[in-house]
């Protein structure tokens, strides 16, 4: 195998962020994308090697032929791409999935990955890593808790451009094939099992450690599975500050989301959403935050925070740090989320600082 990291979707926002972090770490990198000139612009003068692959299948064929040791997949929706790419990899695989369907599907490959002696990492972006790391810290050396709630509060500077196919398709993909509810329904974990939840439900007003306030609400994120695995809790809720949680949005959500079951409407919405122009904007707040509240059966409650920088930068740093470690032989066979494999210290290596209760 060749000792390099390939980035699929190397021209995208996340692909470029991962490439910059790999370059900072001195890791040999190849940017893979569909368009030669966009690839050249993404690599910059004297930057990473580039490779044109006209489609995902073409990229998978190149992986089989050239056998890179590590592949970072940034092409969503990951429910459609993760299996194709992971199957093609002779070595280790990472992706940025952040929904229950894709994260669950990759974690379900654990036994096969162990048997093949390979490592698969899913959820290697801001949300899963920021929240599961706090849960790992709060639960260290303690018995299995009863309940966990995690909240992700990203702060992202937006670059001008269109939203793009990958992100639009991921947003509208829903949860195909996920047990415990409908495709366009939320999820929570009740008595150890996935169960229906309302998207935008369980709203909570949080005061961040910097003194500002934010409201988070439930969303079927990969964080849900990662928090359950990190804690073993029977009841888990995952929430985000990015879900519209006002009264009107809460009333509309159960009416609008089921309409997406209609394929023609979903495709129309995907095209319109992909073309939406985003204006450049600064970060809404200085830091991004991961937050968790863990409750034990005896009534003990512990709450903790992880403070990070721009969430898009974190989504570059986590896969780069993890890919570098895999290339250096620091992984172990199986399928994991980032902190489950490398511990809560991984987030610190990506610029994070914990704010935890004194125990
Ligand atoms: N876990 C997290 O915290 C986190 C954070 C950020 C993003 N994400 C996820 O990461 C994904 C990418 O987000 P992004 O913001 O980087 O999107 P983006 O800027 O639109 O980049 C997407 C990349 O994928 C490529 N691509 C799209 N469809 C493709 C296809 N069918 N075949 C081959 N290449 C294709 C694009 O190539 P072209 O240049 O050729 O179009 C582009 O390089 C999304 O699914 C998003 O949800 C996760």
pLDDT tens digit sequence for 43-92:
987 788 999 999 999 999 999 999 999 999 999 999 999 999 999 999 99
Element (H, E) at 291: strand 288-295
Strand partners, 30: 6, 49
Check if 98 has its Cβ closer than 6 Å to any atom of ligand 1. yes
Dist. CA 70 → ligand 1 center (Å) = 18
Count of domains forming the chain: 2
More confident residue, 263 or 306: 306
The two structure tokens encoding residue 198:
């309302």
At residue 244 the predicted structure's pLDDT band, cuts being 50, 70 and 90, is low
Residues 107 and 147 in one domain: no
Residues 179 and 263 in one domain: yes
Element (H, E) at 255: helix 247-256
Residues 56 and 202 in one domain: no
Residue 202 lies in a domain: yes
Residue 107 lies in a domain: yes
Cα distance between residue 186 and residue 351, in whole Å: 31
> Helices 78-88 & 56-66, crossing angle to 10 degrees?
20
- The CA-based angle 339-136-289, given to 5 degrees, is 80
Atom of ligand 1 nearest to the CA of 154: 3
95-120: average pLDDT: 96
Residue 59 lies in a domain: yes
Residue 55 lies in a domain: yes
Residue 358 lies in a domain: no
Residues 297 and 174 in one domain: yes
Dist. CA 95 → ligand 1 center (Å) = 11
Phi, psi of 206 (to 5 degrees): -110, 140
Here the contacts of 285-288 (C-beta below 8 Å, separation 24 or greater) are 285/155, 285/208, 285/210, 285/212, 286/155, 286/210, 287/155, 287/208, 287/210, 288/126, 288/130, 288/152, 288/153, 288/154, 288/155, 288/156, 288/314
Residues 73 and 178 in one domain: no
Residues 198 and 329 in one domain: no
Atom of ligand 1 nearest to the CA of 166: 27
Q: Structure pTM?
A: 0.92
Domain CATH for 96: 3.40.50.720
Number of neighbours of residue 272 by Cβ within 10 angstroms: 11
Residues 317 and 304 in one domain: no
Dist. CA 328 → ligand 1 center (Å) = 26
Q: Which domain holds residue 27?
A: 2-125+312-349
Element (H, E) at 129: helix 126-139
Residue 357 lies in a domain: no
Going by alpha carbons, the residue nearest to atom 18 of ligand 1 is 12
CA distances from 188 to 70, 99, 100, 154, 308 (A): 33, 12, 10, 21, 26
Going by alpha carbons, the residue nearest to atom 22 of ligand 1 is 12
Residues 103 and 166 in one domain: no
Check if 37 has its Cβ closer than 6 Å to any atom of ligand 1. no
Residue 136 lies in a domain: yes
Residue 304 lies in a domain: yes
At residue 354 the predicted structure's pLDDT band, cuts being 50, 70 and 90, is very high
Check if 35 has its Cβ closer than 6 Å to any atom of ligand 1. yes
The percentage of the chain sitting over the pLDDT mark of 70, rounded to a whole number, equals: 92
Atom of ligand 1 nearest to the CA of 163: 20
Dist. CA 39 → ligand 1 center (Å) = 14
Element (H, E) at 316: helix 311-327
Residues 178 and 285 in one domain: yes
In the chain, the N- to C-terminal Cα span, in Å, equals 47
Residues 100 and 141 in one domain: no
169-184: average pLDDT: 80
At residue 175 the predicted structure's pLDDT band, cuts being 50, 70 and 90, is confident
Check if 239 has its Cβ closer than 6 Å to any atom of ligand 1. no
Residues 272 and 154 in one domain: yes
Quick one: DSSP state of residue 330?
-
Contact (Cβ atoms closer than 8 angstroms) between residue 170 and residue 182: no
Dist. CA 99 → ligand 1 center (Å) = 14
Contact (Cβ atoms closer than 8 angstroms) between residue 342 and residue 125: no
Residues 167 and 306 in one domain: yes
Probe ligand 1: pick from 7, 9, 84, max atoms within 8 Å of CB? 9
Check if 166 has its Cβ closer than 6 Å to any atom of ligand 1. yes
Domain CATH for 186: 3.30.360
Q: Which range is most confident: 38-42, 182-186, 228-232?
A: 228-232
Range with the lowest mean pLDDT among 132-141, 267-276, 319-328, 346-355?
Answer: 267-276
| DSSP output for 195-222 | EEE-TT-S-EEEE-TTS-EEEEEE--BT
């Amino acid at each position: 195998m060749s000792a390099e990291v390939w980035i699929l979707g190397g021209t995208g926002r996340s692909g470029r962020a991962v490439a910059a972090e790999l370059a900072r770490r001195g890791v040999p990198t190849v940017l893979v994308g569909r368009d030669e000139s966009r690839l050249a612009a993404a690599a910059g003068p004297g930057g990473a090697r580039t490779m044109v692959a006209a489609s995902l299948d073409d990229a998978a064929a190149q992986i089989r032929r050239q056998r890179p040791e590590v592949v970072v997949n940034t092409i969503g929706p990951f429910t459609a791409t993760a299996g194709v790419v992971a199957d093609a990899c002779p070595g280790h695989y990472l992706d940025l999935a952040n929904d229950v369907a894709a994260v669950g599907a990759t974690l379900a490959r654990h036994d096969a990955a162990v048997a093949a002696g390979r490592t698969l990492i899913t959820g290697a972006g801001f949300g899963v890593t920021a929240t599961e790391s706090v849960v790992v810290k709060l639960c260290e050396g303690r018995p299995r808790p009863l309940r966990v709630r995690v909240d992700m509060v990203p702060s992202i500077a937006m670059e001008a451009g269109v939203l793009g196919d990958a992100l639009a398709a991921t947003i509208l993909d829903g949860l195909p094939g996920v047990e415990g509810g409908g495709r366009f329904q939320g999820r929570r974990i009740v008595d150890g099992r996935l169960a229906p939840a309302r998207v935008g439900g369980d709203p909570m007003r949080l005061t961040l450690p910097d003194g500002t306030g934010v409201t988070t609400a439930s969303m079927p994120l990969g964080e849900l599975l990662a928090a359950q695995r990190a804690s073993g809790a029977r009841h888990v809720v995952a929430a985000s500050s990015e879900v519209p949680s006002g009264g009107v949005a809460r009333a509309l959500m159960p009416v609008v989301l089921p309409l997406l079951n209609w394929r023609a409407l979903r495709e129309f919405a995907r095209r319109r959403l992909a073309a939406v122009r985003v204006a450049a904007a600064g970060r809404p707040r200085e830091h991004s935050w991961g937050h968790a509240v863990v409750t034990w059966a005896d009534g003990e409650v512990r709450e903790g925070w992880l403070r990070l920088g721009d969430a898009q930068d974190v989504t570059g740093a986590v896969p780069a740090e993890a890919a570098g470690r895999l290339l250096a032989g620091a992984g172990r066979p199986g399928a994991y989320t980032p902190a489950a494999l490398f511990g809560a210290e991984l987030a610190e290596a990506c610029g994070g600082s914990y704010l935890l209760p004194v125990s």
